[in-house]
Structure formats: structure tokens, C-alpha cells
Structure 1
Amino acid sequence: MTTGLLLAAAVAAGAAVVEEPVVASASDAALELDPMGSYETGIFDESAAEIVVFHAATQRTVVVNAAQGLVEVLDASDPAGPTKLFDVETVGVASDDGSVVSEGAIANSVAIRDDGLGVVAVENGDKTAAGWLVFFDAAGDGGALGAVRVGALPDMVTISPDGAYAVVADEGEPADDFSVDPEGSVGVVTLPDDVAAPSQDAVAIADFRGFEEGGPRTLPEDVRLFGPEVPTPDGDSFPVSQNLEPEYVAVDGTGTAYAALQEANAVAVVDLATATVTDIWPLGFKDHSREGNGLDASDRDPEDAPIVNIATHPGLNGVYMPDGMDAYTTGGQTYLVTANEGDAREWGDYVDGARVKDLGDAEETDAPALCAHSPLAGLTEDTDLGRLEVVTDLGLREDGSCFEELYSYGGRSFSIWTTEGEQVFDSGDDFEQIVAETIPEYFNSDHGETNLEGRSDAKGPEPESVTVGEVDGRTYAFVGLERVGGLMVYDITDPAGATFVTYVNNRDFAYSVEDADDPASALAAAGDLGPEGLAFVPAADSPIGDAMVIVGNEVSGTTTYFSVTSITEEPTEQPTEQPTGTDEGTPPGDDGTLDTLPETGTGTTVAALVAVGLVGAGAAGIWFRRRSV
């Protein structure tokens, strides 16, 4: 749990930058984020701005616009007013294997090498068929250089730190009716030294067949395998390989890649030199009975009035299921940082989850009920855990007759892991606690629609992506929250002792686009909705002389630039007694009153915050202030 939050309103101007972004910082925060400017596509909820990457030599940003099957190249030399230069087309590009990128193909991800060699991961119009990597010159006019064929549904691509490889997560999702289920894999493409497309023989596929039954490698027991077994068109079946679906890839400086297997709740380790999956390690589960690991599990509270209710529950666990992931090195050791989003598998008639209240209801689900002896057995009402979405393949009694424990989607957190799979840090329930303290009237809001607790019964704030960067010798993790929005920033210099720094949300909750009479006007005023991709720009590469974070927002279709600056001023001494009215010592811009907070399941009330110094000046000399939006 965080302590010592200072809440204030930042002021910025520019397209899609709201007048008063939401800001909450720790009292000892060493840096601050400010939105500077944004590029708007004007496209709502169509993934018009997803993955972003910055090319330092040309001061360009390349943005995946999946809605139009292309990537957009922006001039970011003035981040306060980015402008579009041109598009990189992918459809119609000839591949070295003789195929052509087909109509209906979707651009999913992009990466750029320092010399300008760009690569786009392109999904086939038939997502179960093999996709492509399309190469282009990001420093030139964006013309295609060629393409190579990779696995089914290339979802994310990155380039190794030494520039030698493009590494792509081939997710291999099944057809929508589960009639076909391709194998998941990791493609490893050896890149040429110059800005040119590689040949098809430079492509190697790291698959999971070694982990099939009878194979040379052993799949750990806690790696989650579930769902229908679908034979290939040849009649073969590879239940492990078809079940494992790489979502995201991070590469360290030793020639090793790590692929997040989101639904399987695991990470695959890939040796790039041999294009071999050498290991798979499960991530384990989050114990929601532990203090500091609570969650708000219901959007329907007593009297059907949503309130903040972050509580712990014995017998309830979270399945981390990370989406975004990054790697960094400190103290000579490499660590992985994961954004623990969670994800359901729903294809055709198959759904892997159910609401708690529906367990045992044959009209709603095939899943059995809670066991009578389960500590959760009496918590199936909507006001308790009834509306919480849980997986149905975990927590069953050995005979499968009932659920002894329950497992919900995602960790509502970010974690730090060793490269052997040991968790050294998890942010617990920080994200929900911080949002509750900062904007309680929009706690767990959805993205396209402004509401209170719209996502409590699902994945809460839904951490989607993470990027790591260094500022003034300290290492920070920047975590995007897909639903309520904004960036959570933590100092992760000491991996086991990571600390909260600041939360910034460039969103105006007064505008609910899905409910608006004029959605276009509401979209233009709402700010950023649904952060998807993040890129950190070191100060040495930045056009402003300070570090930046660039965010692609898939729901608002905006690409927004944040400055990342150090706070060097000495803190102003606060009064030793809580001021009232307009007495001397009232914080600037405050009317002398303190906003109240709704009670939470862990007892977070204004009185409690006063007692520990979070509200008022008190002995700690710390002010808590919430901006009205």
C-alpha cells in the first residue's frame, strides 16, 4: 500500500491534452510526468493507435494503426505538436517466400533498429494462417523493403538490443468457432547489417513441440493448459503447442528472449542463437487473502450503489496472466517486469470463465458450484463476490465435483521476476488503492464510458503494458492502465523494494464517449482512453532534452507525449497543524476543505488517513488533496 500521496492538478495545453490531468504523487517523488501534446486520429475504439516506437536519429514516432491495417509515421521533433508525415502500407507487399500480404491483413506491432530498419508484424486476413513481418526504412519515405513469412497471428515484434534479430510472438489463436487452432511459436529472424529485408531462410521458428507428451522437455505442472483439443487439418494434435499462445516478447542483452504466455500464466525462455524454447516457467498465483493483496470484486454494492470496497478474501486467488513485459539489468542481474492484465479465452461455444454467482447454475455454465466447506461459499451475492468473473478450470476439488478455491483474471498489479521465474516484487492492491484515493468518483471506470466501478467485477484497472527507463541514474517502470487510464510510475532500481512515484492520467472524466449525444466532440475532449503501447525515450535521444514517455491509446486513437523531469526543488515545509478555511497555511488553490473518501474494505477512510498522516498536515507534514474533475 502506498503512503504519503500528494494530489494536484497539472495544467497543459494542446490537442487531446486535457486542461487538468489527474496527478497523484508520493511525497518523496523524484520525478514528474506532464502531457505535452498528442496526435489524434479521430477514430474511436477501433485500435487506431496501439504500439508506438521512437526513432531517435530522425525524431520520428511510428504508430500502429490496426484499424486501417497500416502504421503512421509522425514527426515528433516538437512533441507538443506532433504531425503526420506518411503511412507505411503493408497490404500488397511481396514476401520472399512467394506470398503477398493479403487484403484484410492487420498490422499488430512495430519495431525500429537504430539505423532505421523498421519491421511490422502483420496478421493474415485469415488469422489462423501464417502471417508476415514487413520491413521498411523508417528514416526514409516508409517504402516497403520486402517481407518474410512467420507463424500464425504475429502479435508483437521487437528487435534484440544488439540489432541482430527481430523476435516475434506468433500467438496462434484459434478460429472464432474453434474449428482450427494453429500452434503458437516465437519467430527469430536474423537481420542483415544494412537497411534491407532479410530473406526467408533467415527465419527460424522456436516452437513448443519439445514439451508435448513424450518430448524431450517437461512442462511444469502449473502451466495452465485448457480448452478443446483441435486436430490439425492433417489429423495431428499438438495439445501443448496449440494451447500456448505467446503474447509479448522481451529480449535481454545476453541473447535470450522471454515470451509471455498470457492465458497459460507462464513465460517461455528462448535461446535466440538456436531459436529454441529452452524452458517454460509458471508464474503461480496471487493470494487475495493476504493484507495488501485485496481487490474490489463487485460493481453492485449494498442497495445497488457502487462504492469502493477493496477487501481481502481467503480462498480467492488471482491468475497473473501478463500482457506487456520488459527486461532490465541492475546489480549485474536481469529482471523481467510484467503488467498483469489477465485474459479470458472465448471462442465459439467455448468460454473458460463464469461469474461466481452462476457456478452450479446449469442454465448459465457447465461449471459446478462452490464446495460447502469453501470459505467463499457464503459470498455468492452480487454485493460480495457474485459478479466477479473467475476461471473454471482451476480451484476444483480433486474429484472435480465443486470449487474449493476461486481464481480471478489478472493480478491488478505489476510484478518483477528473476529470469528463473522467482517473483521478487508485486504491487499488490496499490493500483486500486491509489485510484480510489485520487478519483474515488471514477474508481475502476471503464475507458469508453465514464462510470464508477464499471470494471470491479472484471479486471479492475487492468494493467496492460509496461516499459522501463532510466532517469538520473534511477530505473523506473511505467505501467499503463487500460481501463481507468493513466500511467503508474514506480522506482524499480531496487527490484525487491520498488516504490510508487506518481500516477498521471490525461483524461477528462466529464466526457463519456459511449454515452455522448455528439461522440466526436466528446472524443476530442475526453483525452486519452485505453493506453495500449508505451515507449520510453531517454533524455539523450529526446527532442526536449528531458526523457519522454510516448503512449498509444487504442480507444481514443491518440498518441500522447509525456515529459519526464526530475524534481530537484527542496520540499516546502508544511504547517504542523491541519488548517481550516482560509487560514494561513492552506495549500495553494485549495478552499480549505478536505474531500472525503468512501470507505474501503481495508478501512481506508478520511479518519484513517488522518491517523497515518495521509490527510491533513499532521506530524508527517504531508497534504492529501483530490482534484474535482
Structure 2
Amino acid sequence: MKNLVKKTIVGAVASWLLISPISTYGVANLSQFSSEEGEDLHVELIGRYTSGAEIGQGGTEIVAYDKENQHVFSINGDQNAVEILDLSQLKDGKQEIPLLKQITLADLGVPASDVTSVAIHPDGQFFAVSAPSVNKVDPGFVVFLSLEGDYLSSVQVGSLPDMITFTPDGAKLLVANEGEPNDEYTVNPEGSISVIDVKEGVEGLTNASVSTIRFTDDVIDSDVRKVREDHTYAENLEPEYIVIDDKSQFAYVALQENNAIAIIDISNQKVLTVKSLGYKDYSITENQLDASNKDDEINIQNWPVLSMYQPDGLASYTVDSKTYILSANEGDSQNYKGFSEEERVNDLKENYELNADLFEGYTQEMLDKMILDGLFEED
């Protein structure tokens, strides 16, 4: 557990606060959390890196840990850079984690607008970062660097590369190309998965080592959500995150806005299936939520609401040769200048009919009464 904490706590300035069950507002000196007696969880702050970014600017957004050199590679969204941090001094009891080097977009040598993800090769030979194009709907880039942060090579991938990960055998790097539309929604690139062959090394790597896996309708279940019905499934699907099984055989891809997961056959470079994650029924006792952001009150209860999971991050583990996927269900919506799917319930009431067949916790009579009692009103 201690090693896990070392790798995780430095990732964000305040990430260690998030697991505490007590209020942390104004508790600047809180440095450890222990669970109830007899339980195993104990978390202690052992180091901190302060990026200097304002709250909400993503000063330390995504990290990868180099266990051999005890370095952390951290994405600094505020500076559009990768930062190399030194954890080796923690063994001497020093809590302030020093910055060894900052690598900016200019240092990467590609016409990019951002740095979105970082991953270290399983053998610790080099690391990679993903970088969307200046115009996010254009093809993006993956840049390979030495562990010291020196440029090795770069290749072009799909639109808006948002996350990268190496296969456990180190032979390939997979890229989740999210393919978000432009703000006017006049251009909506296809989401895709890029596969980069790195088994022969990455110095001098060219686009010839890059393959693209695209989505076709025949492998997509009919209940997978389309955000825009007038666009193709390939345009609708937006890969967000990838995990790979221990044998480097299959990849599991979160399609966040579509509330779905895709399964990829890595060797044959094809999508096997895309499956919907279904809906969570907030009418049953164990599922409750606070439905209003207007009443300035805490009001957690059951509602006639079906919620999509829409995972962002994924993790996987294997037991008895069966792979399990864990998902961090962030939820999301498309909200652009040219199109938005965000609506207030009050604006839907003339075009919405509650059907008790969809909710385990309500009869039709109960739903009809809730409507008469003002369910759709602003307050």
C-alpha cells in the first residue's frame, strides 16, 4: 500500500484530501488519514509538488511513474508542458518534490495545442506524450522522448489524441483519438484508435509504423447511444481511455459520451464489439441523488431518472483468467456553440412522458401524481 501511495499521491496537489471522510476546507495541515480500528487503510502525505497553477488550470493533471529512477512525468495543462519530477529525495524525509525539467510544446517540435497524456515504456527505455493539433479536428501527434526529456521522434495519429498506453509486452503503443467536433459542430471527425509499432525502438520512427483502427456499424450494438442521430456512428464515437489485458491481446476502450465500451483485438487490429453500459435507475432505494442545482439545499432522494455511466478512466485486473474492468463514471455532455444536449427539466415538460415500465421504483399512478405535484417545475 505504501508504494501505491507514493506513486499516486504526487499526481495532484490535493489528491490525498479526496479520500478523507471529513471536511477538508481550511485544513491546510492535514497530512494523514487512518480508517477505523481493525481496517487496513492508512494514507499519509509524504511529498508534494506545487506547480504554481491556479485552481482549475490543470497544473498536475496526469502522471506516470519511472520506478527505476524514481521520477514522475507529469502533464502540466497550465503550461502546455511535460514536467519531470524527482521523488528520490523523499527517502531523506524531504516533502517538497523538486522539478528537474519542464518540456514545452515548442520543445516537442510539433504544431500542437496541448499535451493530453503521458506513458512510460514497460521496460523503462523511453516515454511518450500525446498532443492534439493546433486545430483539434486535424490529426494529432505522439512524441517519443528519452527519460531525460530529449526528443527522439514523433508520428501523426488521429484527431484529438486524448490518452496513450503501452501494451504490457512493450511492442505497441495505443492511442485513444477522441475526435471531438469543432465548436460550431460543422466538422465532426471520426473517433479512432491508433496503434504504433515500437518493438524495434522509437528513434527515427515514422508514420509508416502507425495503423488506425476505425469503427464500423456491423460491430456496434443497436442500443449504443448516438449523440447526433444525423451523424455516423464513427463520427459519434469518442474514445476516451484504454486499458489492455495482461497478455497484450485485447484492449478495452471507454467511449464516454456514448456510454459504451469497445473491445479491440490488438493483433488483428480490429474492433470486435461495442456495447452499451446501460442505465442506472434512480427510482430504487439504493440509488439516490440531489436533482436540483437551483434550490441551494441538500435533497438526496429517489427520482424518476435513468442515468448513463459515461466512464472516463478505466482500470483492469485478471482473476482465474478472467479480465475485469473498473470504470470511473464521470458523466459528460456535449455542449458546443453549434449544438448542446444540455436542457433544464422545466424546458422538457411539454415533450416528455414518464413511463413506469422504465422505472422499478414507481407505478404509473405514482409518476402521474408527481407530475401533478410539480415535478417539472424549476424549484
TM-score norm. by structure 2 comes to 0.82
Name the CA shift for 1:158/1:349 in 2 (closer, same or farther; >3 Å).
Answer: same
CA RMSD, aligned part only?
2.9
- Find the aligned partners of 2:27 and 2:83 in 1 and give their Cα distance: 20
Selected match of 1:240 from 224, 233, 236: 233
Name the CA shift for 1:17/1:310 in 2 (closer, same or farther; >3 Å).
Answer: closer
- Find the aligned partners of 2:313 and 2:152 in 1 and give their Cα distance: 28
Is contact 1:297–1:384 with CA below 8 Å preserved after alignment? Answer: no
Residue number in structure 1 paired with 2:334: 345
Residue number in structure 2 paired with 1:257: 251
- Find the aligned partners of 1:295 and 1:321 in 2 and give their Cα distance: 17
- Find the aligned partners of 2:349 and 2:143 in 1 and give their Cα distance: 49
1:19 and 2:26 matched: no
Residue number in structure 2 paired with 1:285: 279
Name the CA shift for 1:274/1:318 in 2 (closer, same or farther; >3 Å).
Answer: same
SS at match of 1:189: strand
Residue number in structure 2 paired with 1:528: none
SS at match of 1:257: strand
Between 1:157-166 and 1:84-93, the stretch displaced more is 84-93
TM-score norm. by structure 1 comes to 0.51
- Find the aligned partners of 2:201 and 2:266 in 1 and give their Cα distance: 20
How do 1:177-326 residues align onto structure 2 when only pairs under 5 Å count? Answer: 177-194=184-201, 196=203, 198-208=205-215, 210-211=216-217, 217-227=218-228, 229=230, 239-254=232-247, 255-301=249-295, 305-307=296-298, 309-313=299-303, 315-326=304-315
- Find the aligned partners of 2:372 and 2:161 in 1 and give their Cα distance: 41
Residue number in structure 2 paired with 1:120: 129
Selected match of 1:108 from 110, 116, 119: 116
User: 1:68 deviation in Å?
Assistant: 2.0
- Find the aligned partners of 2:300 and 2:170 in 1 and give their Cα distance: 45
- Find the aligned partners of 1:64 and 1:250 in 2 and give their Cα distance: 19
- Find the aligned partners of 2:372 and 2:207 in 1 and give their Cα distance: 57
1:137 and 2:146 matched: yes
Name the CA shift for 1:25/1:201 in 2 (closer, same or farther; >3 Å).
Answer: same
AA partner of residue 154 (structure 2):
A
User: 1:194 deviation in Å?
Assistant: 4.0
Instruction: Specify every segment of 5 or more residues in structure 1 that has no aligned partner in the other structure, as ranges.
Output: 1-5, 11-15, 95-100, 212-216, 231-238, 362-367, 389-629
Residue number in structure 1 paired with 2:86: 75
Is contact 1:355–1:386 with CA below 8 Å preserved after alignment? Answer: no
Name the CA shift for 1:17/1:199 in 2 (closer, same or farther; >3 Å).
Answer: farther
User: 1:370 deviation in Å?
Assistant: 3.8
Is contact 1:248–1:259 with CA below 8 Å preserved after alignment? Answer: yes
1:70-113: CA deviation from partner (whole Å, max 9, x where unpaired): 1001001134221100022343645xxxxxx11x5210000001
SS at match of 2:131: strand
Selected match of 1:64 from 75, 88, 112: 75
- Find the aligned partners of 1:382 and 1:119 in 2 and give their Cα distance: 56
User: 1:332 deviation in Å?
Assistant: 2.5
1:466-493: CA deviation from partner (whole Å, max 9, x where unpaired): xxxxxxxxxxxxxxxxxxxxxxxxxxxx
AA partner of residue 124 (structure 1):
S
Q: Could you say which structure has the larger radius of gyration?
A: 1
1:495-534: CA deviation from partner (whole Å, max 9, x where unpaired): xxxxxxxxxxxxxxxxxxxxxxxxxxxxxxxxxxxxxxxx
Residue number in structure 2 paired with 1:152: 159
Name the CA shift for 1:144/1:295 in 2 (closer, same or farther; >3 Å).
Answer: same
- Find the aligned partners of 2:35 and 2:293 in 1 and give their Cα distance: 27
Selected match of 1:50 from 61, 74, 81: 61
- Find the aligned partners of 1:378 and 1:65 in 2 and give their Cα distance: 51
Residue number in structure 1 paired with 2:318: 329
More helix by share: 2
User: 1:189 deviation in Å?
Assistant: 0.8
Residue number in structure 1 paired with 2:43: 33
User: 1:357 deviation in Å?
Assistant: 2.0
User: 1:278 deviation in Å?
Assistant: 1.3
SS at match of 1:39: coil
1:327-361: CA deviation from partner (whole Å, max 9, x where unpaired): 11123311000011110011223111212122147
SS at match of 2:58: coil
Instruction: Specify every segment of 5 or more residues in structure 2 that has no aligned partner in the other structure, as ranges.
Output: 1-19, 356-363
Name the CA shift for 1:191/1:8 in 2 (closer, same or farther; >3 Å).
Answer: same
User: 1:39 deviation in Å?
Assistant: 0.9
Residue number in structure 2 paired with 1:569: none
Is contact 2:79–2:104 with CA below 8 Å preserved after alignment? Answer: no
Name the CA shift for 1:158/1:197 in 2 (closer, same or farther; >3 Å).
Answer: farther
Residue number in structure 1 paired with 2:14: none
SS at match of 1:339: strand
Is contact 2:32–2:44 with CA below 8 Å preserved after alignment? Answer: no
- Find the aligned partners of 1:380 and 1:148 in 2 and give their Cα distance: 56
- Find the aligned partners of 1:130 and 1:48 in 2 and give their Cα distance: 25
Is contact 1:115–1:195 with CA below 8 Å preserved after alignment? Answer: no
AA partner of residue 147 (structure 1):
S
1:95-140: CA deviation from partner (whole Å, max 9, x where unpaired): xxxxxx11x52100000013231000101110000000000012x2
Name the CA shift for 1:35/1:179 in 2 (closer, same or farther; >3 Å).
Answer: same
Is contact 1:88–1:144 with CA below 8 Å preserved after alignment? Answer: no
Give the count of matched residue pairs. Answer: 345
- Find the aligned partners of 1:133 and 1:121 in 2 and give their Cα distance: 4
Name the CA shift for 1:163/1:17 in 2 (closer, same or farther; >3 Å).
Answer: farther
- Find the aligned partners of 1:62 and 1:20 in 2 and give their Cα distance: 26
SS at match of 1:36: coil
Name the CA shift for 1:277/1:106 in 2 (closer, same or farther; >3 Å).
Answer: same
- Find the aligned partners of 1:124 and 1:151 in 2 and give their Cα distance: 10
Question: % of aligned pairs identical?
Answer: 33
- Find the aligned partners of 2:181 and 2:140 in 1 and give their Cα distance: 14
